[in-house]
Amino acid sequence: MKLIHKAMAGTMESSDIMVTIEPKEEGGIQLELTSSVMQQFGRQIEAVIRETLKGLGVENAMVTAADKGALDCTIKARVNCAAFRAADSEEYVWEAK
């Protein structure tokens, strides 16, 4: 997936996460994460964000995530949405596992 411009998804509401993605040429995924549950779940949230981006084929990006206790499914959805918006793409992959 080719990112074109900065985009975001999500809100600052409780149980949500606000994700901002900015395209970059190199340097891999740079992640700035803040979370209301950092101590207990910071490691897991970071892993989910990185995996989701990897799944989309995004290799370089500046990602800012402000988490308010979102569940993994919410995190994936917000990261996906922000990435598709940043890529101006609507080629959504609707998966049902």
Partner 1 sequence: MAEKSFDFAQIPHIAEIACNGEFKAAKARNTATFAEKFEHKNKVVDSLEEAIKLSGLKDGDTISFHHHFRNGDHIINQVVDKLAEMGFKNLTLASSSLAAVHAPLIEHIKAGVITHIETSGMRGELAEAVSRGLMDFPVVFRSHGGRGEAVTSGELHINVAFLGAPSCDPFGNANGYSRDDEDSIMCGSMGYARPDAHMADTTIIITNNLVKFPNTPCAIPESDVDYVVVVDDIGDPKGIMSGATRYTKNPKELIIAKTAAEVVKAAGYVYDGFSMQMGSGGASLATARYLRQMMIDEGIKCRFALGGITGQITAMHEEGLIEKVLDVQSFDLDAAKSLKHNHFHQQIDAPTYASYRREAAVNQLDFVILSALEVDTDFNVNVLTGSDGVIRGAIGGHPDTAEGAALSVIVCPLTRGRIPCVVPKVNTVVTPGSVVDVVITDQGVAVNPNRPEVAEKLVAAGIPVVSIESLAERAEHIVGKPDPIKFKDKIVAVVMYRDNTVIDVVRQIDED
> Given the structure tokens 């989701």, which residue do they identify?
52
Query: Tokens in use for 32?
Result: 């700035």
Q: Does 37 bind partner 1 (CB under 8 A)?
A: yes
Residues 51-80 interacting with partner 1 (rule: CB under 8 A): 68-72
Q: Does 44 bind partner 1 (CB under 8 A)?
A: yes
> Given the structure tokens 């740079």, which residue do they identify?
30
**Among the listed residues 41, 65, 83, 84, the single contact to partner 1 using CB under 8 A:** 41
Q: Does 39 bind partner 1 (CB under 8 A)?
A: yes
The CB density around residue 62, as the number of other CB atoms within 10 Å, is: 16
**Among the listed residues 23, 42, 60, 81, the single contact to partner 1 using CB under 8 A:** 42
Rounded Cα distance, 71 and 60, in Å: 25
**Among the listed residues 4, 28, 30, 36, the single contact to partner 1 using CB under 8 A:** 36
Contact 63, 21 (CB under 8 A): yes
